[in-house]
Chains A and B, each alone.
Chain A
Amino acid sequence: MFEYIYTLLPALTDGLITTLKVFFITLILSIPLGILVSIGRLSKITVISKIMEFYIWVMRGTPLMLQIVFVFFGLPIVGITFDRFPAVLIAFMFNYAAYFGEIFRGGMESIDKGQYEAAKVLGLTPYKTFMRIILPQMFKIVLPSIANEVITLVKDTSLIYIVGIGELLRAGKIASNRDVSLIPLVMVAIIYLLLTAIFTRIFNKTEKRYSYY
């Protein structure tokens, strides 16, 4: 059996690399975008706030699977064509930015008005206030929610299966079909579990590091 598992490893590793690529690129793009979304959502300019509200509603109100299908299979119909990989990244980025945006908005709103006022009377500019006073405090508040989203994202990457990218689940499924064996699927499950265990650990450590105040 170990020999069989060994023969599966190259294909699964390839799949894992693709999964991690989608995972990290999505995180790197959607967190800053999410901050912008939350700022827009909290904007005093009603038009911007309303547009963000609509965007968040659409992104959270429709399945991510539909969004991926829409970008990759739907948009070409109206002449907008993306390769597989950029297509899924676009869908993931906009979807996760909406979720992160709502988390950040909650975090920002939970910060006491007095913090803004203290920064103001001390002469800090709105930009400095945001970067040095609000953002650091917000990150501590939103960390548990972000951890949740990150774990969800690890598993959501399996949705890109639909456009035919060889990620982890697809690699396992192909091997399972070919060899009529359950083992590849169990291995895929174990890899997902390991990934979520690692990220949970990282977040627990980060939360501890932020618990100095």
Chain B
Amino acid sequence: MVLQVDGLHKSFDGKTVLKDVSFQLKAGEILAIIGPSGAGKTTILRCINALEKSDRGTIKIDGTYLCRDDNKSIYATNEEMKTIRKKIGLVFQNYNLFPHMSVMENIIEAPINAFGVSKKEAMDKAVELLNIMGLLDKKDSYPFELSGGQKQRVAIARACALNPKIMCLDEPTSALDPELREGIANIIEDLAKDNMGILIITHDMAFAERVANKVIFMENGQIVTEASKEDFFNHLKDERIKRFIT
């Protein structure tokens, strides 16, 4: 297991957004969390990436606890946090590339300035990633010169620069036209083949069906169903899910 979430609770100003959320992600697995907006999908992602602190529950990332539950959440120390950051990558919905840095600089920034990788090593890795993404010719471009799909692939490359065990993608298809969706699906599958665990937050059912192995359906801060993709799309009878699928 590269990711174990157990009994996660989170509320904002007394309003519960996550209620007892538990799931696991294996290496090489592609898990899609789907559900209507406001279901708490993004909050899960933000908790796993320590952008939000959960109130209760356990999050374990490749053997290291991000938070433990001891009547309240106990968070990782700074030292542990560094290990965790290296193991988990996040691609934001709007990518959040650094606009004042070139594509290459965006990718090598964290390896060099957060993890002390040598410049040469970081650049070699960046070139390798840009090659996979088909963007090597854009390495000296700035984000404003790129299309939405290109920005997304740079963001994926940036998140991959430290060889994470888990890759999270927040609504990866929200800004893509149908042709590009196939491209991103292929990239995600390639990452999974390299034994990365992939967590996708989406309300795009067609995309989840195309790329995921496992699907979690959420509503009102709770997991309603967890199933393999085949079971989920072919056999599930739950009225709410049916309504959402169709």
- Chain A positions within 8 Å of B, measured between CB atoms, are 112, 114-115, 117-118, 120-125, 128, 132-133, 136-137, 140, 212-213
Contacts and interface: CB of A to CB of B under 8 A. Distances in A.
Contact of A120 (B51, B115, B142, B158): B51
The 3 closest A-B pairs by CB, nearest first: A122-B110, A123-B85, A118-B96
Given A124-B110, A133-B98, A117 B92 contact: yes
23 contacts: A115-B96, A117-B51, A118-B98, A121-B49, A121-B50, A121-B85, A121-B89, A122-B110, A122-B159, A123-B85, A123-B86, A123-B110, A123-B162, A124-B114, A125-B114, A128-B113, A128-B114, A132-B109, A132-B113, A133-B98, A137-B99, A137-B100, A213-B99
Given A123-B110, A125-B114, A132-B113, A140 B100 contact: yes
Contacts of B51: 117, 120-121
A122 B159 CA distance: 7
Contacts of A212: 142
A123 B83 CA distance: 9
Nearest to B94: A114
Given A122-B109, A124-B110, A117 B96 contact: yes
Contacts of A122: 85, 109-110, 114, 158-159
Interface string B87-129: 0111010101111100000000110011100000000000000
Nearest to B83: A123
Interface of B: 49-51, 82, 85-86, 88-90, 92, 94, 96-100, 109-110, 113-115, 142-144, 158-159, 162
A115 B106 CA distance: 12
Contacts of B98: 115, 118, 133, 137
Contacts of B144: 213
Given A120-B51, A123-B85, A123-B86, A213 B96 contact: no
A68 to B, nearest CB: 38
Contacts of A121: 49-51, 85, 88-90
A213 B162 CA distance: 26
A69 to B, nearest CB: 43
B114 A136 contact: no
A142 to B, nearest CB: 14
B92 A118 contact: yes
B196 to A, nearest CB: 16
Contacts of B159: 122
